Amino acid sequence: MCYTYIIKGKKDYYYCGITKDINKRYAEHNTGKSKSTRRNLPYSLKFCYENSTRSLARKLEEKIKRAGIRKWYYKNIKYGNHDNMVITHLIGNTEK
């Protein structure tokens, strides 16, 4: 399994990535261990989708990034309907 995820930091900063261990990766973002996200702490998990392969996770990540992470999130998750793609049991902070 591999997860495609979106996190939101302060100043309305959105980040999209993939990982095999969402709990570990989320903790890395929130402790400043990730160079690309350490400036916008703290983060909240906004979207997480479990893919069956790394290839599928990467394709979804690329699709989200091409559309613009914030724009894709608002269109498909916050104001859209993305058919049970948000995994709410992983981390307590998964509000839409």
CATH number at 7 reads 3.40.1440.10
pLDDT tier for residue 94 given thresholds of 50, 70 and 90: very low
The predicted structure's pLDDT at residue 30: 96
Asked whether residue 92 is domain-assigned, the answer is: no
Asked whether residue 89 is domain-assigned, the answer is: no
The predicted structure's pLDDT at residue 81: 63
Asked whether residue 21 is domain-assigned, the answer is: yes
Asked whether residue 70 is domain-assigned, the answer is: yes
Range of the domain at 40: 2-78
Under 8 Å CB-to-CB from 10, ≥6 apart: which residues? 40, 41, 42
The predicted structure's pLDDT at residue 56: 93
State yes or no: pLDDT of 91 exceeds 50. Answer: no
Average pLDDT, whole number, for the chain? Answer: 86
The predicted structure's pLDDT at residue 78: 80
Handedness of CA 3, 49, 62, 29 (dihedral sign): negative
**CA 61/CA 67 separation, integer angstroms:** 10
How many domains are contained in the chain?
1
pTM given for the model: 0.84
Asked whether residue 87 is domain-assigned, the answer is: no
Asked whether residue 73 is domain-assigned, the answer is: yes
Asked whether residue 93 is domain-assigned, the answer is: no
Q: Please compute the mean of the pLDDT values over residues 15-40 and round it to a whole number.
A: 95
